[in-house]
Each structure stands twice: as C-alpha cells, then as structure tokens.
Amino acid sequence: MKRALVLVLVVLISGTLFAGGSGEKDAAAAETVELTFGSWRTDDVAQMGRLIAAFNEEHPEIAIRFDPTNPPDYNATLRLQLESGIAPDVFYARSYATGAELFGEGYMLDLSGESFIGAAYDDGSRAPWQAGDRQFAMPLVAVSHGVYYNKEIFAELGLAIPATWAELMSVSQKIKDAGIIPIANGLADEWDIAEVVWMNIAPGFIGGRTARLAYESGDRPFNDAAMVSVFTAMGSLAPYLPEGFEAISYNDSKALFLLGEAAMWFDGSWTVSEFEASDPDFEWSVFAPPAPAGMKQQITFHPDAGIAINPASEHIAEAKVFLQWLSGPKASAVLGNELAGFFPMVKQPPTLSNQHANDFLALNAGRGLDVRFPWPLLMSGDPSGYNLIMQGSINVITGRMSASAAADAMEEGISSWYGPAM
C-alpha cells in the first residue's frame, strides 16, 4: 500500500517536471507581450476573461490583463492615468465629446488609417467616435433601452402590450387598481430618471433622429410643443410610480421589479445579465417605449463603449492586433453572448443565444433608432443638457414645475452656452 502511494507520487512529480521542462512553452512565454485593458465595466471581469481566452486561442503571444475602474470614477481616473503616463495600453472610450476631448489632447491614437475598422463598422456606428474625419476609437458595443414588464402580472390581468402613451396610461391604471405598483422607477439617484426614462421616451415624442438634428441645428427651439409634451408625459407617470418615489433609488426600483412588486420598469439593456443571474426563473420581457398616438415608435440605441489605443503604449502593434480581432466575427459572437444586453456594433451582428438580449434587439425592427438625446452635442456646457433634462424631469414629476416651465428652462439653459454655429 505504502509502496503504491510512493509510486503514484513519483509519477506525479516526474510528470509535472517533464511538463514544466518542455522547451517550446518556455520560448512562447518569453515572447509574450502583456497589454492592460482599461474599462468601466467592473461587473464584466469573468465575461471579459472568457473573451480574452478566446483571443488567446488564436494569439497566445499577446496576454491581456483586464483592469476595470469603478464606473463613476472612470473618466477622471483614466485622465489621471493618461496624464501621468500609467494608463492602460487599450481602454474603453466614451462616445462623442467626452472621448473626443481626450483625443484632442493627444491621449488616443488616431485610428483613421486602420482599414479593418471601416470594413467591420458602418459610418453610423463609427460616427460617435469620430472627431472631424478622424477615428479616435473603434466602436465596440451599444446598449438599448425599453420598458421591462413582468409577464406573469400582464397575463394574470389580461393586459396587452401598450403601443401608445394613452395605452400605457390605461394599462398602468389597471395595474394600480389591482394593487400592484405599475412602474418601478424612482427619483432618489436622479441619473436614472434622465437616462432610462426621459431619454428612453423622448425620441418617440419629438420624432426621432431627424428631430434631434433639428434641435441641434437651431431649427427647433428646445421649448417647442413636442419638447413640452415629453415633460408632460414625464409628469403623467407620477401617479403610477411607487409610493415615496422621491426616495426610491435605482437599486430599489430594480428590487421592486425583480420581486414582482412592480409590473413595469423603464431601464436599459445592461440589466439583462444581472436579472438572469439573480432570478433565472423570473418571467419578464421588454416592450418599446410607447409613443403618442399617430407617432412612430423610436428606440434609443446608444453607442456605449468604443475601444481606443494609448499612443504612449509600448505595444501599439499588438494593441492593433487585438482591436482587429475584436472587430472580427468570432469576437462579436463571444462579446454579444457573454455580455448579454450589450450589442456588438459590427455590420453583420452575430446571432445571439440569449433570449432577453434578442427581445431587446427585436425592438429595433421597423422602428426609428437614435442615440441618447443630449449625448452628441449638449453635454459639455454648464448647465448641461443632461442636467436640465434630469432636473426638469424631477421637478415636473414632483409637481414643483410645469412641463412648459421645464422646457423653457431647457431652452434658456442650453442657449446660455450652446449655439449651432459652435
């Protein structure tokens, strides 16, 4: 018995010794280059690990270390890292002005000459990461927005999916009469009322992308009738929000919906994987944000993350290899399925195996698409369009301000610093 054990031990030890001694592996390890990969997605460490593993199957010589920063601190941290020369080799890039500003200061490599970007992404997808005609980052993933609903409650009460705002109101009233909270959203965290409610419904009320361009060019004032109607719609949600909505935070809303206390919830597609992880048996789906009767429904399909290369990196060639691989079909498939709710922006989107992610994606069919309203041009002034939307929505819902006053405040605030000529 003892002899057998000793034998096993000897075999095991010699086995590991020989494996360790194999010459090929050592040579490969010596040539390995390590890239650091910065991101604001601290939730995605495991998923990114699998993406990197897929990359390493084809490119074992490039090791990648995913090193995310807490989302609210990302912009400031990244800037500090870039300015002090300790930034990651490749990193997530915000779309529009926030990203372009870093590029303007020379902290992102000009990728205009990389033909694989143009081959994989169309003009519309590339635009959010362009400054003038120069490409400062490669598009990666977009997020969608919609209204989550509890399938069981809808079935029990025999409710149909509302397509117009009036239908949403009557559905909400029926849910409320049944003693259930109709809509889970609240005001305590502030950002969510702007990003996942106002910016979710606004395109349907103003008329989508063409309307946004008209506001931006100065053809339409920010307090026209359509804009007032968005704020009116925000105010009309008040009776259907949870009791004490003034102090209901984003996480509270999430919990109310997940526990079945609330029947609907305005939110973005990024919550898909979290819901699936917390309660796999929970029956939910999404519908498109209702528009006023006679208006076309619109989806806010927002370019979320691009990926940029640090010009100070010592491994620019390897970083380009990684980006090129990311733009390929295999990476898109892994990304789209691992990060359910984040949609690869490539021309030929991969088939997704995740049902809820597909539900979100299906909303795009036959509807207009646009980015979040203030993102392209209205973010950088003081007061920013974002802040005016946020405070206006809160003030209308709490009844401190009328819808037209909120729209007037928006016109006044934005025009104090923004001009179409700028």
Partner 1 sequence: MARKTTTETHWSWIWYLVPALAVYTLFMALPLFRSLQLSLYSGSGFQIDTFVGFDNYHRLLREGTTADRFWGAFGHTWIFFAVHMVVQNSLGLLFALLLSSRNLKGVAVYRTIIFVPATLAIVVTGFLWKLLLNPQWGAINIVLSKIGLESWVQPWLGLEGVSLVVIALVSSWQWVGIPTMIFLSALQNIPDELFEAADIDGAGRWSVFSKVKLPLIWPIMGVVMILTFTNNFNAFDAVFSMAGANGPPNYSADILGTYFYRIGIAGEHPVGIPDMGLGAAVASIIFVVLFLGVLVMRSVFRAESDQ
* Interface residue list for partner 1 (CB under 8 A): 72-76, 79-80, 83-84, 97-98, 101, 105, 186-191, 195, 242-249, 252, 256, 261, 379-380, 382-384, 386-387, 391, 394-395, 398, 400, 413, 416
Nearest distance, CB of residue 84 and partner 1, angstroms: 8
Looking at the Cβ atoms of 229 and 387, the one nearer to partner 1 is 387
Identity (one letter) of the amino acid at 360?
F
Looking at the Cβ atoms of 248 and 263, the one nearer to partner 1 is 248
Looking at the Cβ atoms of 327 and 387, the one nearer to partner 1 is 387
Nearest distance, CB of residue 83 and partner 1, angstroms: 5
Looking at the Cβ atoms of 88 and 242, the one nearer to partner 1 is 242
What backbone torsions phi and psi does residue 408 show, to the nearest 5 degrees?
-65, -40
CB 381 within 8 A of CB 311: no
CB 291 within 8 A of CB 297: yes
Tokens of residue 325, six digits:
């691989």
Sort strands 33-39 and 62-68 into parallel, antiparallel or unpaired: parallel
Nearest distance, CB of residue 224 and partner 1, angstroms: 23
| Alpha-carbon span 226 to 230, nearest angstrom | 7
CB count in 10 Å sphere of residue 358? 13
Chain mean position to CA 136: 19
Q: Say how many Å lie between the first and final Cα of the chain, rounded.
A: 85
Could you tell me the CA-to-CA distances from 397 to 43, 81, 197, 415 in Å, in that order?
32, 40, 12, 24
Looking at the Cβ atoms of 64 and 93, the one nearer to partner 1 is 93
Looking at the Cβ atoms of 245 and 287, the one nearer to partner 1 is 245
Nearest distance, CB of residue 77 and partner 1, angstroms: 9
Looking at the Cβ atoms of 187 and 309, the one nearer to partner 1 is 187
Nearest distance, CB of residue 281 and partner 1, angstroms: 22
Looking at the Cβ atoms of 244 and 366, the one nearer to partner 1 is 244
| Alpha-carbon span 388 to 375, nearest angstrom | 13
DSSP structure string for 264-319:
EEEEEGGGHHHHHHH-TT--EEEEPPPB-TTSPPEEE-EEEEEEEE-TT-S-HHHH
Nearest distance, CB of residue 76 and partner 1, angstroms: 6
Nearest distance, CB of residue 325 and partner 1, angstroms: 29
Sort strands 33-39 and 90-93 into parallel, antiparallel or unpaired: parallel
Nearest distance, CB of residue 379 and partner 1, angstroms: 5
